Amino acid sequence: MIKSTPDNTFFNQVTDILVVTEFRSSKELKQLVKLTTAAFSKGIALEFLFVVPEKKLPDMLPAFKGINYICWGDFNFVGALKNEKLKSFAAYHSFDAMICLCWEMDKNVLKFTNSLKIKYRIGYDRESLPKFDLAFSLKEKSEEELIKLTVKYLKQL
């Protein structure tokens, strides 16, 4: 059993969270940002990294503060990052936690997220994904359920 006092939970000490997920549409992006922001509204800074499964980023992607994109074209043929904006992002950001909402993850994107300064990694418990510090076994992908479970268990740590 996990015990902690309400004021001393890990959740109350978290100030920065990176959310990594696939980009499917502008509408889904806005819904996910709204859902996540509502779940972590208590003074927590959220950054989003949307994985676009294409060689090049499409035109007209939603541009908001805290929204970042990564695509296959951001890496060279040996998997090294060549996008200067993402290199700067990696160099100057650190996070208390990363929540990976990806059901599958490209090896280059995984390499990039592993290079980031992150204290605690959270995601789905799946063979195709890395071992996270806190992982949830769900029968099917549910971003809403993963976020709900994350909040629940972070409040207990």
Q: Calculate what percentage of the chain has a pLDDT beyond 90.
A: 56
pTM greater than 0.85 (yes/no): yes
Sequence-distant (≥ 6) Cβ neighbours of residue 33 within 8 angstroms: 46, 48, 64, 67
- 19-65: pLDDT as tens digits: 999 999 889 999 999 999 888 867 788 999 999 999 998 888 888 88
**What domain count does the chain have?**
1
The parent domain of residue 19 ranges over 6-154
CATH number of the domain enclosing 32: 3.40.50
Q: How far apart are CA 91 and CA 150, in angstroms?
A: 26
Residue 47 is inside which H or E element, if any? strand 45-52
CB 70 within 8 A of CB 86: yes
Give domain status of residue 1, yes or no. no
The residues pairing with 100 across neighbouring beta strands, listed in sequence order, are 20
How remote is the C-alpha of 136 from its chain's centroid? 15
pLDDT of residue 110: 92
Give domain status of residue 100, yes or no. yes
